[in-house]
Amino acid sequence: MDVSVGPQHPGSGHVRLLMRVDGDYIVSIDPDIGYVHRGCEKIAEYRTAVSNIPHLERPCIIDAIHLNWGYVLPIEELQGVVVPPRGQYISTIAAEMNRIMSHLYWLAINAGVFSGHTTIFMYGFGDRDLFIELMEMLTGARLTYSFLPPGGPRRDLPAEFQKRLTQLLDYFERRLVEYDRIFFSNPLVIARAKGIGVLKREEAIRLGVTGPVLRGSGVKYDVRKVEPYGAYSELEFDVPTFEEGDSYARFMVRFEEMKQSIRIIRQALEKLPKGPIARKAPLIIPEGEAIGRVESSRGELVYLVAGDNSDKPSRVKIMNGSFRNLVAMPYLVRNVHIADMPIIYGGLDYWPVEADR
Amino acid sequence: MFLGEMYEGIKHILKRTFTMKYPYEKPLLPKGFRGRHILYMEKCTGCGICAWICPERCISFVPPADGQQHPQNPENRFPQYWYARCCFCHFCTDYCPTGALDYSPDYELAEYDRELLVWSPERLARIPTNGTYRSVFHADKGSMGVTFEPAEKEDKT
Amino acid sequence: MASQSPSKAEDLVNTLKTRFPDAVKGSKVEGPRRILITFDKNTFLDIAAFVRDGLGFDHVKGIAGIDEPTHKLIKVLYFTGSFSKTEVEDVILVLETELDRGNPVIASAVSVWPSAHFHERETFEMFGVKFEGHPDLRKLLTLDNWDGPPPMLKDIKFPEMGQR
């Protein structure tokens, strides 16, 4: 019997998973994507280099700083613009705050609501709102930042920002202990997620998955360590890796990443240098092609930008984590109970708008 | 066995809740909040950089309503915004070379008529008066961790 | 430094060039982490198998198509990376080939890199490139009943969005 999950999803974005079901077991699954495809890459050829920023940060709006930063890295390389150190630190602080916010959204919806745990949904969104307030103080907008044009950030840290951010991080560290008690050590969650959807290390490498899915299967790969950008080369942090490869390991990777993000932000606030935050960038993209990559919350995000000496790029290619992790879905959801499918889907943190662009 | 989790839930029952009763209580917006734009007509030179950089192409140029010639604006044209398309990125504000555009905390822009969403330069030049903003909430060392208090200062716009 | 001993990136290029002297048509090294190899499309599967087993690049991060109507070509780029070999784990090796714009056909990489499955489907749909040997080549992102031309080609223009 064929069961079609979707394409309307109140929780995640719109994707259709065509499941072939035999009794209570899923025999195979065929993801049918493209319900939110807008032609991002084609539209990007009609906008100038700076005007593209609000357009290209929309695919995964809860992770907007990373999508923005990955796009300006190749443009800065082609134009020969170097961002000053203070600008790199501010971008790093904003990016790590964005990572915490994206993981809180994941925790609330993909791990919480999809497994039926509505308390963590309330906790996750409530705490995320405090971070949104601070980003509003920094950039002026709650979710659609457009904060990093080529050359550096648009604004400097406001006067009270450092004090309020430190206050928030102290509060959030206490909340993470509560999250652990209510969700990650909850016997019900452990029973639902441990041992489900096991992706072994060789398979993860062969399928080319990325992000927390890869680190939950024992491969220690993080673009922030492999090819440091921003201020990451001067900051100390760990890359959490778990060996089991099941859904619970993927949950725990994101939980530990939130703690590491707090550590990074604290160090960056201490070591913040003085000086200018941005350089003026030219308005023309010179001829050539450049590749830039960042570690977004869902995995490695690679951009190819090709210019032809005009103000508009001639080709923008986006390779993001959600699209690469899609290949793991038909592989993992085989011969499992129907009730295990939301847990595996939530563990992959698939963001349909980002995958479809 | 479940005592740890149940304690987590029960300890919040007797705490004070917080609800912001919009529209009687509004959040205190930070300086530089990206609401609608303010146009200073005595500074605008009609160069057109705002229209060129706009990602949504929502800015077009019109002559001023009173027909008066402004000395710094040789072509006598001022920007007109179409707020149905604007994404409030404020690249126009940042890239304006004379500083003729500014941020404002005005976000209540809903209309019943679609034509009213096109804002003429004179309408943009009006400084918004949104009244006092009353409350602010932020993380604190309080018992629940989050406090909610009325703001003392008035919004200076 | 580079004049005394070849860097790791140049080493990889030289290994590839000595193994496939005719098939590798050009190369470009931009910094220690970006390598571009242009190759002849007829020997694609041999080169891909050597890049995976001999050089250690075990997955494909993405496949990009670039349309060049003035040269009557469609360029297809494979972005490969390595998770298992630590010496080259920070390198992105881009394999580039040029296909005839009237009839773009190339062998499918799914037998070598299973991670290329969905990327090839997307390039087939957006540029019209046919990948021979792909197990399930059908449309991915556009509507099920879309029968128009491949959308990302430069012939498809949108004049209402402005000048390009």
- A206-220 pLDDT, tens digit per residue, is 999 999 999 999 999
Q: Using CA atoms, how far apart are residues A187 and B16, in angstroms rounded to an integer? A: 30
Contact residues of A toward C, CB < 8 A: 33-34, 37, 39, 41-43, 45-46, 205-208, 210, 214, 219, 221, 226-227, 291, 293, 300, 302, 304, 306, 312, 315, 317, 319, 323-324, 326-327, 356
- Label residue B130 by pLDDT band (50, 70, 90): low
Please say whether the beta carbons of A183 and A177 come within 8 A: no
Which is nearest to B102 in space by CA: B130, B126, B129? B126
Average pLDDT over residues A63-86: 93
Q: pLDDT, tens digit, for every residue of A151-176?
A: 999 999 998 889 889 988 988 998 89
Q: Most B CBs within 10 Å: which of A136, A156, A277, as the mutation test of the B interface?
A: A136
| Mean pLDDT, residues C65-69 taken together | 90
Is residue A293 very low, low, confident or very high in pLDDT (cuts 50, 70, 90)?
very high
> B35-69: buried (b, 16+ CB within 10 Å) or exposed (e) per residue?
bbbbbebebbbbeeebebbbbbbbbeeeebeeeee
Q: How many CB atoms are located within 10 Å of the residue A41 CB?
A: 18
| Residue A284 contacts B where some CB pair is shorter than 8 Å | no
Instruction: Say if residue A93's pLDDT is above 90.
Output: yes
| Residue C164 pLDDT greater than 70, yes or no | no
Place B153 in a pLDDT band, splitting at 50, 70 and 90: very low
Residue A294's pLDDT band (boundaries 50, 70, 90)? very high
In a domain, A79, yes or no: yes
Q: What is the rounded distance in angstroms from the CA atom of residue C39 to the CA atom of residue C18?
A: 13
Is there a contact between B33 and A136 if contact means CB atoms under 8 Å apart?
Answer: yes
Secondary structure class of B138 (helix, strand, coil): strand
B150 confidence band (pLDDT: 50, 70, 90)? low
pLDDT at A115: 86
pLDDT single digits (tens) C123-151: 998 998 999 888 888 888 888 888 888 88
Q: Where are the beta strands (DSSP E) in chain C?
A: 24-29, 34-39, 59-68, 73-81, 92-100, 105-107, 130-132
CB distance B4 to B67 below 8 Å = no
Q: Tell me, rounded to whole angstroms, the distance of Cα C55 from its chain centroid.
A: 16
Mean pLDDT of A106-118: 88
**pLDDT tier, B74 (very low <50, low <70, confident <90, very high otherwise):** confident
pLDDT score at A224:
92
Q: How far apart, in whole angstroms, are the C-alpha atoms of residue B57 and residue B64? A: 20
Q: Does an H or E element contain B59, and which? A: strand B59-62
In a domain, A231, yes or no: yes
- SS3 at position B19: coil
Tokens representing C19 are: 């193994």
Question: How far is residue C79's CA from residue A291's CA, in Å, rounded to a whole number?
Answer: 10
Residue A8 has pLDDT above 90, yes or no: no
Tell me how far apart the alpha carbons of residues B37 and A334 are, in angstroms, rounded to a whole number.
Answer: 54
C interface toward A at CB cutoff 8 Å? 33-34, 58-62, 64, 66, 77, 79, 83-84, 89-90, 92, 94, 113-115, 117-119, 139-143, 151-152, 156, 158, 161-162, 164
CB–CB of A51/B55 below 8 Å?
Answer: yes
Pairs from B67-74 (Cβ < 8 Å, separation ≥ 24): B70/B41, B70/B42, B70/B44, B72/B42, B72/B43, B72/B44, B72/B45, B72/B98, B73/B44, B73/B45, B73/B46, B74/B45, B74/B46
B87 touches chain A (CB under 8 A): yes
Give the pLDDT band (50/70/90) at residue B148.
low
For A37, residues 6+ apart whose C-beta sits below 8 A from its C-beta are A356, A357, C141, C142
Asked whether A303 and A73 are in contact (CB, 8 A), the reply is yes
Measured in angstroms, the CA of A323 and the nearest CA of chain C are apart by: 8
| Residue B36 near residue B103, CB atoms below 8 Å | no
Could you give the CA distance from residue A321 to residue A35 in angstroms, rounded to a whole number? 18
pLDDT class of A99 with cuts at 50, 70, 90: very high
- CA-to-CA distance for C69 and C101, rounded, in angstroms? 8
Question: In this complex, how many residue pairs, one in chain A and one in chain B, have their CB atoms less than 8 Å apart?
Answer: 77
Q: What are the tens digits of pLDDT across the range A306-354?
A: 998 888 899 999 998 899 998 998 888 888 888 888 889 888 888 999 9
Range with the poorest average pLDDT among A22-31, B133-142, C12-21: B133-142
- CATH code of C21-159, in short, is 3.30.460.80
pLDDT at residue number B144? 46
Three-state SS at C81: strand
Smallest Cα distance from A141 to chain B, Å: 6
Structural domains in chain A (count): 1
Is the pLDDT at C2 greater than 50, yes or no?
Answer: no
Tell me the domain boundaries of chain C. Answer: 21-159
**ipTM for the whole complex:** 0.90
Residues of chain B found within 8 Å of residue A144, distances taken between Cβ atoms: 87-89
Q: Are A159 and B109 in contact (CB under 8 A)?
A: no
Q: Are C118 and A327 in contact (CB under 8 A)?
A: yes
B147 has a pLDDT exceeding 60: no
What's the pLDDT score for residue A117? 86
- Give the integer Cα–Cα distance in Å for C30 and A78: 12
Q: Report pLDDT for C41.
A: 82
pTM of the complete model: 0.90
Q: What is the pLDDT of residues C28-48, one digit of tens each?
A: 888 888 889 888 888 888 888
| Average of per-residue pLDDT across C6-11 | 77
What percentage of chain C exceeds 70 in pLDDT?
95
Q: A260-286 pLDDT, tens per residue?
A: 999 999 999 999 999 998 888 888 999
Per-residue pLDDT at B143 exceeds 50: no
**Any domain includes A181:** yes
Q: Are the Cβ atoms of C58 and A206 closer than 8 angstroms?
A: yes
Q: Report the amino acid identity of residue C117.
A: H
CA distance A46 to A57: 16
Report the SS3 class of residue C61.
strand
CB within 8 Å: A172 and B34: no
Q: State the average pLDDT for chain A.
A: 90
Query: What distance in Å separates residue B155's CA from the closest CA in chain A?
Result: 15
Which tokens is B126 given? 């009006």
Query: Any chain A CB within 8 A of the CB of B89?
Result: yes
CA distance A168 to chain B (A): 5
CATH of the domain at A204: 1.10.645.10
Q: Is A50–B34 a contact, with Cβ atoms under 8 angstroms apart?
A: no
- Asked if residue A259 is part of any domain, the answer here is yes
Is A181 in contact with B4 (Cβ distance < 8 A)? Answer: yes
**C contact test, residue of A76, A203, A206, A215 with most C CBs within 10 A:** A206
d(CA A111, CA C48): 38
Residue B142: pLDDT band with limits 50, 70, 90: very low
Q: What is the DSSP letter of B12?
A: T
Domain of A276 in residue numbering reads as 38-325
DSSP letters for A130-160: HHHHHHHHHHS-SS------TTS-SS---TT
pLDDT score recorded for residue A333: 86
Q: Which helix (H) or strand (E) element contains residue A105?
A: helix A85-105
**Sequence-ordered list of residues with C-beta below 8 angstroms from that of A312, at least 6 positions apart, any chain:** A45, A46, A47, A48, A49, A285, C164
Residue A259 has pLDDT above 90, yes or no: yes
Q: What is the pLDDT of residues B37-53, one digit of tens each?
A: 999 988 889 888 999 88
Q: Which two tokens stand for residue A190?
A: 């452990």
Using CB atoms, which residue from C64, C139, C162 is nearest to A317? C64
Q: How does the average pLDDT of chain B come out, rounded?
A: 78
The Cα A17–Cα A177 span in angstroms is 35
Name the pLDDT band for C1 (thresholds 50, 70, 90). Answer: very low
Which chains would you list as touching A if contact means 3+ CB atom pairs under 8 Å?
B, C
Cα of B142 to nearest chain A Cα, Å: 10
Whether C66 and A315 lie within 8 Å, measured CB to CB = yes
Band the pLDDT of B138: cuts 50, 70, 90. Answer: low
